[in-house]
Amino acid sequence: MATSPIYLDYAATTPVDPRVTEVMIRVLRDPIAFANPSSTQHAFGLAAANQVAQAREQLAAALQVTAKGIIWTSGATEANNLAIKGFAYANSARGKHLITVVTEHKAVLDCFSALAKQGFRITLLPVNNQGFVDLEQLRQALTIDTLLVSVMAVNNETGVIQDIAAIAAIVHAHGARLHVDAVQALGKIPMTEIGQHADLFSITAHKIYGPKGVGALVLRDDPRLKLVPLLHGGNQEHALRAGTLAPHQLLGFAEAAELAVSEWAHNTAHIRALNQHLLAGFALLPQIAVHSWLAPRVPHIVNISVQGVDGETLSKAYNQCMAVSNGSACNVNTKQPSHVLLAQGIPLALAQASLRFSLGKMTTASDIEAALDYLRYLLRNI
Ligand SMILES: Cc1ncc(COP(=O)(O)O)c(C=O)c1O
Protein backbone atom coordinates (compact mmCIF):
# COMPACT_ATOMS: atom_id res chain seq x y z
CA MET A 1 0.00 0.00 0.00
CA ALA A 2 1.17 3.53 -0.69
CA THR A 3 2.52 5.47 2.28
CA SER A 4 2.67 9.01 0.89
CA PRO A 5 0.34 10.69 -1.63
CA ILE A 6 1.28 10.15 -5.24
CA TYR A 7 0.31 12.74 -7.80
CA LEU A 8 -1.51 11.26 -10.79
CA ASP A 9 -3.58 14.31 -11.73
CA TYR A 10 -1.37 15.94 -14.37
CA ALA A 11 -4.36 16.65 -16.63
CA ALA A 12 -5.69 18.98 -13.91
CA THR A 13 -2.38 20.80 -13.64
CA THR A 14 1.35 20.14 -13.63
CA PRO A 15 4.17 21.25 -11.34
CA VAL A 16 6.36 23.98 -12.82
CA ASP A 17 9.50 22.67 -14.51
CA PRO A 18 12.55 24.06 -12.61
CA ARG A 19 13.96 25.40 -15.89
CA VAL A 20 10.76 27.43 -16.31
CA THR A 21 11.01 28.70 -12.73
CA GLU A 22 14.60 29.82 -13.46
CA VAL A 23 13.46 31.86 -16.45
CA MET A 24 10.62 33.45 -14.51
CA ILE A 25 12.82 34.39 -11.55
CA ARG A 26 15.42 35.88 -13.87
CA VAL A 27 12.74 38.07 -15.47
CA LEU A 28 11.26 39.09 -12.11
CA ARG A 29 14.71 40.14 -10.89
CA ASP A 30 15.51 42.17 -13.99
CA PRO A 31 16.30 45.71 -12.78
CA ILE A 32 15.12 47.34 -16.02
CA ALA A 33 12.52 45.12 -17.64
CA PHE A 34 10.17 45.20 -14.62
CA ALA A 35 8.49 48.13 -16.38
CA ASN A 36 5.11 48.21 -18.05
CA PRO A 37 5.57 46.68 -21.54
CA SER A 38 3.16 49.31 -22.91
CA SER A 39 5.42 52.17 -21.69
CA THR A 40 7.58 52.10 -24.78
CA GLN A 41 8.35 55.83 -24.53
CA HIS A 42 11.28 54.99 -22.19
CA ALA A 43 14.09 52.45 -22.00
CA PHE A 44 12.53 50.52 -19.12
CA GLY A 45 9.26 49.97 -20.94
CA LEU A 46 11.12 49.11 -24.14
CA ALA A 47 13.08 46.41 -22.30
CA ALA A 48 9.81 44.92 -20.99
CA ALA A 49 8.23 45.13 -24.46
CA ASN A 50 11.26 43.30 -25.84
CA GLN A 51 10.67 40.49 -23.39
CA VAL A 52 7.04 40.22 -24.49
CA ALA A 53 8.19 40.12 -28.13
CA GLN A 54 10.79 37.49 -27.30
CA ALA A 55 8.17 35.32 -25.57
CA ARG A 56 5.83 35.69 -28.55
CA GLU A 57 8.58 34.63 -30.97
CA GLN A 58 9.61 31.69 -28.78
CA LEU A 59 6.03 30.42 -28.42
CA ALA A 60 5.36 30.91 -32.14
CA ALA A 61 8.49 28.91 -33.03
CA ALA A 62 7.47 26.08 -30.68
CA LEU A 63 3.97 25.97 -32.20
CA GLN A 64 5.17 26.68 -35.76
CA VAL A 65 2.71 29.55 -36.16
CA THR A 66 3.19 33.23 -36.95
CA ALA A 67 3.99 35.35 -33.89
CA LYS A 68 1.43 38.02 -34.68
CA GLY A 69 -1.38 35.47 -34.39
CA ILE A 70 -0.71 34.94 -30.67
CA ILE A 71 -3.04 36.75 -28.26
CA TRP A 72 -1.94 36.38 -24.64
CA THR A 73 -4.70 35.55 -22.16
CA SER A 74 -5.00 34.54 -18.51
CA GLY A 75 -5.44 30.88 -19.51
CA ALA A 76 -7.50 28.66 -21.76
CA THR A 77 -10.84 29.54 -20.18
CA GLU A 78 -10.33 33.12 -21.30
CA ALA A 79 -8.92 32.02 -24.67
CA ASN A 80 -11.98 29.83 -25.29
CA ASN A 81 -14.30 32.69 -24.31
CA LEU A 82 -12.52 35.11 -26.62
CA ALA A 83 -12.48 32.62 -29.49
CA ILE A 84 -16.13 31.58 -29.26
CA LYS A 85 -17.92 34.69 -28.02
CA GLY A 86 -15.51 37.12 -29.67
CA PHE A 87 -15.96 35.36 -33.03
CA ALA A 88 -19.73 34.94 -32.69
CA TYR A 89 -20.28 38.62 -31.80
CA ALA A 90 -17.99 39.85 -34.57
CA ASN A 91 -19.68 37.76 -37.26
CA SER A 92 -23.32 37.67 -36.15
CA ALA A 93 -24.46 39.63 -39.19
CA ARG A 94 -23.43 36.63 -41.35
CA GLY A 95 -25.17 33.93 -39.31
CA LYS A 96 -26.39 32.81 -35.93
CA HIS A 97 -25.52 29.12 -35.87
CA LEU A 98 -22.70 27.56 -33.85
CA ILE A 99 -21.68 23.91 -33.39
CA THR A 100 -19.79 22.13 -30.66
CA VAL A 101 -19.56 18.68 -29.11
CA VAL A 102 -21.27 17.39 -25.98
CA THR A 103 -17.95 16.18 -24.48
CA GLU A 104 -16.18 19.55 -24.56
CA HIS A 105 -14.75 21.18 -21.44
CA LYS A 106 -17.07 23.50 -19.51
CA ALA A 107 -14.94 26.44 -20.66
CA VAL A 108 -16.38 25.79 -24.14
CA LEU A 109 -19.84 24.43 -23.28
CA ASP A 110 -20.67 27.35 -21.00
CA CYS A 111 -19.74 29.86 -23.72
CA PHE A 112 -22.20 28.13 -26.02
CA SER A 113 -24.92 28.17 -23.34
CA ALA A 114 -24.34 31.89 -22.82
CA LEU A 115 -24.61 32.52 -26.57
CA ALA A 116 -27.80 30.43 -26.78
CA LYS A 117 -29.38 32.82 -24.26
CA GLN A 118 -28.38 35.71 -26.52
CA GLY A 119 -30.18 34.37 -29.57
CA PHE A 120 -27.58 32.17 -31.25
CA ARG A 121 -28.69 28.71 -32.46
CA ILE A 122 -26.54 25.98 -30.98
CA THR A 123 -25.99 22.41 -32.15
CA LEU A 124 -24.38 20.03 -29.66
CA LEU A 125 -22.99 17.06 -31.57
CA PRO A 126 -23.19 13.67 -29.82
CA VAL A 127 -20.26 11.23 -29.66
CA ASN A 128 -20.18 7.48 -30.08
CA ASN A 129 -19.41 5.08 -27.22
CA GLN A 130 -15.68 5.68 -27.71
CA GLY A 131 -16.03 9.47 -27.47
CA PHE A 132 -15.58 10.09 -31.16
CA VAL A 133 -17.43 12.73 -33.19
CA ASP A 134 -19.31 11.25 -36.17
CA LEU A 135 -18.09 13.17 -39.23
CA GLU A 136 -21.33 12.52 -41.10
CA GLN A 137 -23.34 14.09 -38.27
CA LEU A 138 -21.03 17.09 -38.35
CA ARG A 139 -21.56 17.42 -42.11
CA GLN A 140 -25.33 17.28 -41.66
CA ALA A 141 -25.32 19.81 -38.82
CA LEU A 142 -23.58 22.50 -40.87
CA THR A 143 -25.96 25.01 -42.42
CA ILE A 144 -25.61 28.07 -44.58
CA ASP A 145 -25.49 30.30 -41.49
CA THR A 146 -23.04 28.22 -39.42
CA LEU A 147 -20.32 30.56 -38.23
CA LEU A 148 -18.09 28.46 -36.05
CA VAL A 149 -17.45 24.87 -35.00
CA SER A 150 -15.52 24.23 -31.78
CA VAL A 151 -13.99 20.79 -31.18
CA MET A 152 -11.31 19.87 -28.65
CA ALA A 153 -8.25 18.04 -29.97
CA VAL A 154 -7.68 15.79 -26.94
CA ASN A 155 -10.37 15.14 -24.35
CA ASN A 156 -9.29 16.09 -20.83
CA GLU A 157 -11.21 13.24 -19.20
CA THR A 158 -10.64 10.31 -21.53
CA GLY A 159 -7.59 11.32 -23.60
CA VAL A 160 -9.49 10.66 -26.86
CA ILE A 161 -7.87 12.33 -29.88
CA GLN A 162 -10.32 13.74 -32.44
CA ASP A 163 -9.44 13.79 -36.13
CA ILE A 164 -8.92 17.55 -36.42
CA ALA A 165 -7.71 17.39 -40.05
CA ALA A 166 -10.89 15.61 -41.18
CA ILE A 167 -13.12 17.88 -39.09
CA ALA A 168 -11.43 20.99 -40.50
CA ALA A 169 -11.89 19.78 -44.08
CA ILE A 170 -15.66 19.42 -43.54
CA VAL A 171 -16.03 22.72 -41.65
CA HIS A 172 -14.05 24.68 -44.24
CA ALA A 173 -15.90 23.10 -47.16
CA HIS A 174 -19.04 24.69 -45.65
CA GLY A 175 -17.38 28.09 -45.28
CA ALA A 176 -17.40 27.99 -41.46
CA ARG A 177 -14.44 28.43 -39.13
CA LEU A 178 -12.92 25.90 -36.73
CA HIS A 179 -11.86 26.62 -33.16
CA VAL A 180 -9.87 23.93 -31.34
CA ASP A 181 -9.42 23.70 -27.58
CA ALA A 182 -5.87 22.35 -27.74
CA VAL A 183 -5.15 22.50 -24.01
CA GLN A 184 -4.57 18.78 -23.58
CA ALA A 185 -2.92 18.41 -26.98
CA LEU A 186 0.06 20.71 -26.44
CA GLY A 187 3.06 18.56 -25.61
CA LYS A 188 1.00 15.39 -26.21
CA ILE A 189 0.45 15.33 -29.98
CA PRO A 190 2.23 17.25 -32.77
CA MET A 191 0.92 20.83 -32.78
CA THR A 192 1.59 21.34 -36.49
CA GLU A 193 -1.53 19.25 -37.12
CA ILE A 194 -3.61 21.77 -35.16
CA GLY A 195 -1.86 24.90 -36.41
CA GLN A 196 -2.41 23.85 -40.01
CA HIS A 197 -6.09 23.05 -39.68
CA ALA A 198 -7.64 25.24 -36.97
CA ASP A 199 -8.58 28.87 -37.59
CA LEU A 200 -8.18 29.55 -33.88
CA PHE A 201 -6.87 27.42 -31.03
CA SER A 202 -6.59 27.79 -27.27
CA ILE A 203 -3.70 26.72 -25.06
CA THR A 204 -2.60 27.19 -21.45
CA ALA A 205 0.75 27.04 -19.66
CA HIS A 206 -0.18 25.16 -16.50
CA LYS A 207 -0.82 21.84 -18.25
CA ILE A 208 2.71 21.80 -19.70
CA TYR A 209 4.84 22.46 -16.60
CA GLY A 210 4.44 26.23 -16.94
CA PRO A 211 2.87 28.74 -14.55
CA LYS A 212 -0.85 29.08 -13.86
CA GLY A 213 -2.61 32.24 -14.99
CA VAL A 214 -1.30 32.50 -18.53
CA GLY A 215 -2.48 31.08 -21.84
CA ALA A 216 -3.01 32.13 -25.42
CA LEU A 217 -5.48 32.18 -28.24
CA VAL A 218 -3.68 31.53 -31.51
CA LEU A 219 -5.23 32.95 -34.69
CA ARG A 220 -4.58 31.86 -38.24
CA ASP A 221 -2.84 34.56 -40.28
CA ASP A 222 -5.95 35.65 -42.18
CA PRO A 223 -7.21 39.25 -42.23
CA ARG A 224 -10.79 38.03 -42.79
CA LEU A 225 -10.77 36.31 -39.38
CA LYS A 226 -12.58 38.86 -37.23
CA LEU A 227 -13.04 38.88 -33.44
CA VAL A 228 -14.31 41.49 -31.04
CA PRO A 229 -12.65 41.93 -27.64
CA LEU A 230 -14.35 40.78 -24.46
CA LEU A 231 -12.10 42.85 -22.20
CA HIS A 232 -11.98 46.59 -22.74
CA GLY A 233 -9.53 49.03 -21.22
CA GLY A 234 -6.49 49.32 -23.47
CA ASN A 235 -5.23 48.50 -26.94
CA GLN A 236 -2.86 45.68 -25.99
CA GLU A 237 -2.89 42.53 -28.15
CA HIS A 238 -4.13 44.32 -31.30
CA ALA A 239 -6.93 45.81 -29.14
CA LEU A 240 -8.33 42.30 -28.68
CA ARG A 241 -7.36 41.82 -25.05
CA ALA A 242 -6.83 44.82 -22.79
CA GLY A 243 -4.61 44.63 -19.71
CA THR A 244 -0.96 44.99 -18.71
CA LEU A 245 1.08 42.00 -19.85
CA ALA A 246 3.29 40.08 -17.40
CA PRO A 247 6.64 39.27 -19.07
CA HIS A 248 7.66 36.69 -16.46
CA GLN A 249 4.44 34.75 -17.11
CA LEU A 250 4.81 34.98 -20.87
CA LEU A 251 8.47 33.95 -20.94
CA GLY A 252 7.71 31.13 -18.50
CA PHE A 253 4.91 29.92 -20.80
CA ALA A 254 7.12 30.19 -23.89
CA GLU A 255 9.93 28.26 -22.19
CA ALA A 256 7.49 25.55 -21.08
CA ALA A 257 6.08 25.27 -24.61
CA GLU A 258 9.56 25.02 -26.14
CA LEU A 259 10.48 22.26 -23.68
CA ALA A 260 7.16 20.46 -24.25
CA VAL A 261 7.77 20.35 -27.98
CA SER A 262 11.52 19.64 -27.96
CA GLU A 263 11.19 16.89 -25.32
CA TRP A 264 7.96 15.47 -26.72
CA ALA A 265 9.43 12.21 -28.06
CA HIS A 266 11.32 11.46 -24.86
CA ASN A 267 8.41 12.28 -22.55
CA THR A 268 5.91 10.40 -24.68
CA ALA A 269 8.03 7.24 -24.74
CA HIS A 270 8.38 7.40 -20.95
CA ILE A 271 4.65 7.95 -20.39
CA ARG A 272 3.64 5.34 -22.95
CA ALA A 273 5.61 2.71 -21.01
CA LEU A 274 3.89 3.78 -17.76
CA ASN A 275 0.51 3.67 -19.52
CA GLN A 276 1.16 0.07 -20.62
CA HIS A 277 2.15 -0.81 -17.06
CA LEU A 278 -1.08 0.70 -15.69
CA LEU A 279 -3.26 -0.96 -18.32
CA ALA A 280 -1.61 -4.34 -17.72
CA GLY A 281 -2.48 -4.00 -14.02
CA PHE A 282 -6.09 -3.03 -14.77
CA ALA A 283 -6.45 -5.97 -17.16
CA LEU A 284 -6.04 -8.33 -14.19
CA LEU A 285 -8.91 -6.70 -12.29
CA PRO A 286 -12.24 -7.91 -13.72
CA GLN A 287 -14.25 -5.09 -12.03
CA ILE A 288 -12.43 -2.47 -14.08
CA ALA A 289 -13.45 -1.10 -17.48
CA VAL A 290 -11.13 1.30 -19.30
CA HIS A 291 -13.10 4.00 -21.14
CA SER A 292 -12.62 4.77 -24.85
CA TRP A 293 -10.60 1.57 -25.10
CA LEU A 294 -10.87 1.42 -28.88
CA ALA A 295 -10.28 5.11 -29.64
CA PRO A 296 -6.94 6.73 -30.43
CA ARG A 297 -5.88 8.22 -27.09
CA VAL A 298 -2.92 10.03 -25.60
CA PRO A 299 -1.06 7.79 -23.13
CA HIS A 300 -1.14 10.48 -20.42
CA ILE A 301 -4.80 9.91 -19.53
CA VAL A 302 -6.46 6.65 -18.50
CA ASN A 303 -10.08 6.80 -17.36
CA ILE A 304 -11.60 3.76 -15.69
CA SER A 305 -14.82 2.76 -13.98
CA VAL A 306 -15.01 0.25 -11.18
CA GLN A 307 -18.06 -1.99 -11.11
CA GLY A 308 -19.94 -2.72 -7.91
CA VAL A 309 -18.58 0.11 -5.73
CA ASP A 310 -20.03 3.42 -4.61
CA GLY A 311 -18.25 6.10 -6.63
CA GLU A 312 -17.97 8.67 -3.87
CA THR A 313 -16.60 6.15 -1.36
CA LEU A 314 -14.08 4.93 -3.90
CA SER A 315 -12.90 8.38 -4.87
CA LYS A 316 -12.56 9.56 -1.24
CA ALA A 317 -10.71 6.42 -0.17
CA TYR A 318 -8.42 6.41 -3.18
CA ASN A 319 -7.52 10.07 -2.81
CA GLN A 320 -6.32 9.47 0.74
CA CYS A 321 -3.14 7.99 -0.71
CA MET A 322 -3.26 9.08 -4.35
CA ALA A 323 -4.15 12.26 -6.20
CA VAL A 324 -6.46 11.34 -9.05
CA SER A 325 -9.63 12.90 -10.33
CA ASN A 326 -13.10 11.69 -11.21
CA GLY A 327 -13.82 14.06 -14.05
CA SER A 328 -12.61 17.52 -14.87
CA ALA A 329 -10.98 19.55 -12.08
CA CYS A 330 -13.57 22.27 -12.76
CA ASN A 331 -16.38 19.89 -11.71
CA VAL A 332 -14.89 18.57 -8.49
CA ASN A 333 -17.29 20.42 -6.21
CA THR A 334 -20.43 19.70 -8.21
CA LYS A 335 -20.50 15.94 -7.39
CA GLN A 336 -22.07 15.49 -10.81
CA PRO A 337 -21.09 12.37 -12.75
CA SER A 338 -18.86 13.11 -15.72
CA HIS A 339 -20.85 14.59 -18.62
CA VAL A 340 -18.21 13.07 -20.91
CA LEU A 341 -18.79 9.50 -19.76
CA LEU A 342 -22.58 9.93 -19.75
CA ALA A 343 -22.40 11.24 -23.33
CA GLN A 344 -20.55 8.06 -24.28
CA GLY A 345 -23.49 6.03 -23.00
CA ILE A 346 -21.79 4.84 -19.80
CA PRO A 347 -24.51 3.97 -17.24
CA LEU A 348 -24.90 6.44 -14.37
CA ALA A 349 -23.60 4.14 -11.61
CA LEU A 350 -20.47 3.34 -13.62
CA ALA A 351 -19.91 6.96 -14.60
CA GLN A 352 -20.11 7.83 -10.88
CA ALA A 353 -17.51 5.19 -10.06
CA SER A 354 -14.87 6.52 -12.42
CA LEU A 355 -11.28 7.53 -11.75
CA ARG A 356 -9.10 9.52 -14.12
CA PHE A 357 -5.40 8.70 -13.87
CA SER A 358 -3.26 11.30 -15.61
CA LEU A 359 0.45 10.73 -15.88
CA GLY A 360 3.26 13.21 -16.30
CA LYS A 361 6.95 13.35 -17.01
CA MET A 362 7.76 13.10 -13.30
CA THR A 363 5.67 9.91 -12.84
CA THR A 364 7.74 6.78 -12.14
CA ALA A 365 7.14 3.05 -12.54
CA SER A 366 7.02 2.74 -8.75
CA ASP A 367 4.23 5.38 -8.65
CA ILE A 368 2.24 3.20 -11.04
CA GLU A 369 2.93 0.08 -9.01
CA ALA A 370 1.78 1.90 -5.86
CA ALA A 371 -1.36 3.14 -7.64
CA LEU A 372 -2.21 -0.42 -8.66
CA ASP A 373 -1.38 -1.86 -5.25
CA TYR A 374 -3.61 0.63 -3.48
CA LEU A 375 -6.47 0.05 -5.90
CA ARG A 376 -6.20 -3.72 -5.39
CA TYR A 377 -6.17 -3.17 -1.63
CA LEU A 378 -9.29 -0.95 -1.77
CA LEU A 379 -11.16 -3.36 -4.00
CA ARG A 380 -10.67 -6.04 -1.37
CA ASN A 381 -11.67 -3.74 1.49
CA ILE A 382 -14.48 -1.39 0.45
C1 LIG B 1 -9.60 20.87 -22.24
C2 LIG B 1 -9.49 22.06 -21.34
N3 LIG B 1 -9.92 23.24 -21.76
C4 LIG B 1 -9.84 24.34 -20.99
C5 LIG B 1 -9.30 24.28 -19.72
C6 LIG B 1 -9.22 25.54 -18.89
O7 LIG B 1 -7.90 26.01 -18.86
P8 LIG B 1 -7.42 27.13 -17.80
O9 LIG B 1 -7.29 26.41 -16.50
O10 LIG B 1 -6.11 27.60 -18.34
O11 LIG B 1 -8.42 28.20 -17.79
C12 LIG B 1 -8.84 23.06 -19.24
C13 LIG B 1 -8.29 22.95 -17.87
O14 LIG B 1 -8.82 22.27 -17.03
C15 LIG B 1 -8.93 21.92 -20.07
O16 LIG B 1 -8.50 20.71 -19.66
Looking at residue 295, the DSSP 8-state letter turns out to be S
Overall average pLDDT of the 321-337 stretch: 72
Domain 18-262 has CATH 1.10.3720.10: no
pLDDT of residue 2: 44
pLDDT of residue 382: 81
**Measured between alpha carbons, how far is 185 from 156 in angstroms, rounded to an integer?**
9
**Measured between alpha carbons, how far is 341 from 353 in angstroms, rounded to an integer?**
11
| Ligand 1 atom closest to 329 (CA) | 14
**Measured between alpha carbons, how far is 32 from 38 in angstroms, rounded to an integer?**
14
CB 249 less than 6 A from any atom of ligand 1: no
Q: What is the pLDDT of residues 101-144, one digit of tens each?
A: 999 999 999 999 999 999 999 999 999 999 999 999 999 999 99
In sequence order, what are the residues at sequence separation of 6 or more whose Cβ sits closer than 8 angstroms to the Cβ of residue 40?
A: 46, 49
Q: Whose CA is closest to 72, among 91, 52, 50? A: 52
**Measured between alpha carbons, how far is 271 from 267 in angstroms, rounded to an integer?**
6
Gap from CA of 183 to ligand 1 centroid (Å):
6
- SS3 for 332? helix
Gap from CA of 324 to ligand 1 centroid (Å):
17
Active-site amino acid positions: 330
Which CATH number does the domain 6-16+264-381 belong to among 3.90.1150.10, 3.40.50.300, 3.40.50.920, 3.20.20.70?
Answer: 3.90.1150.10
Mean pLDDT of the chain: 95
pLDDT of residue 3: 59
| Ligand 1 atom closest to 11 (CA) | 16
Gap from CA of 171 to ligand 1 centroid (Å):
24
Which of 170-179, 226-235, 333-342, 363-372 comes out lowest in average pLDDT?
A: 333-342
Domain ranges of the chain: 6-16+264-381, 18-262
Note whether 6-16+264-381 and 18-262 share their fold. no
Q: What is the pLDDT of residues 58-105, one digit of tens each?
A: 999 999 999 999 999 999 999 999 999 999 999 999 999 999 999 999
Q: Is the model's pLDDT at 329 over the cut of 80?
A: no
| Ligand 1 atom closest to 12 (CA) | 14
pTM here is: 0.96
Measuring from atom 7 of ligand 1, which residue has the nearest CA?
76
Q: What is the pLDDT of residues 3-58, one digit of tens each?
A: 578 999 999 999 999 999 999 999 999 999 999 999 999 999 999 999 999 999 99
pLDDT of residue 326: 82
E strand spans, the chain: 6-7, 70-73, 97-101, 121-125, 146-150, 177-181, 200-204, 215-219, 288-290, 301-306, 322-323, 354-358
Q: Is the model's pLDDT at 193 over the cut of 90?
A: no
